[in-house]
Amino acid sequence: MTPSGKAEHSFFDQVYQLVQQVPKGRVTTYGAIAKALGSGLSARMVGWAMNGSHSGVNPVPAHRVVNRNGQLTGKIHFGSATEMQELLENEGIAVENDTVINFRELFWDPANEL
DNA sequence: ACGTTGACTTATT
DNA sequence: AAATAAGCCAACG
């Protein structure tokens, strides 16, 4: 998968790079990413793209990507159900009941910040 | 090749 | 307010 240097223009790669640009201690949503790419209704593909994140040599902070409710819906794909929460807490993000606390403040909108 | 599933979201009932 | 329907697009069987 075209290692470092080669930037693909596929929907997946756009998602990867965008998520990688998410500041530490911040979180974003699938819908925001999808919307930033032009299709706000294709949020599912964003999650699916994350599924292929392992295909890329670059680490994709998928733990910073949550659903619109701030809920860690994708934590089940991390291998450990608590790993995603631990990662978020490690960045200073408070998580409880699989939901990001102060999600509204921590929300990083690529269409607004980028 | 067709049908189902999926880390979502919005609208409608 | 809660539940259901629909829309999106790609991958898997």
pLDDT along chain A (114 residues), means of 10: 58 89 95 85 89 82 94 91 93 94 94 86
Strand C contact at CB of residue A85, distance < 7 A: no
pLDDT at A39: 73
pLDDT at A24: 95
- Provide, in whole angstroms, the distance separating residue A35's CA from nucleotide B6's C1': 19
- Provide, in whole angstroms, the distance separating residue A74's CA from nucleotide C9's C1': 19
Task: Name beta bridge partners: A85.
Answer: none
Asked if residue A106 lies in contact with residue A26, where contact means CB atoms within 8 angstroms, the answer is yes
CA–CA separation, A21 vs A44, rounded Å?
20
Sorted by where each begins, the domain ranges of chain A are: 11-111
pLDDT at A3: 47
pLDDT at A22: 94
CATH architecture of A11-111: Orthogonal Bundle (1.10)
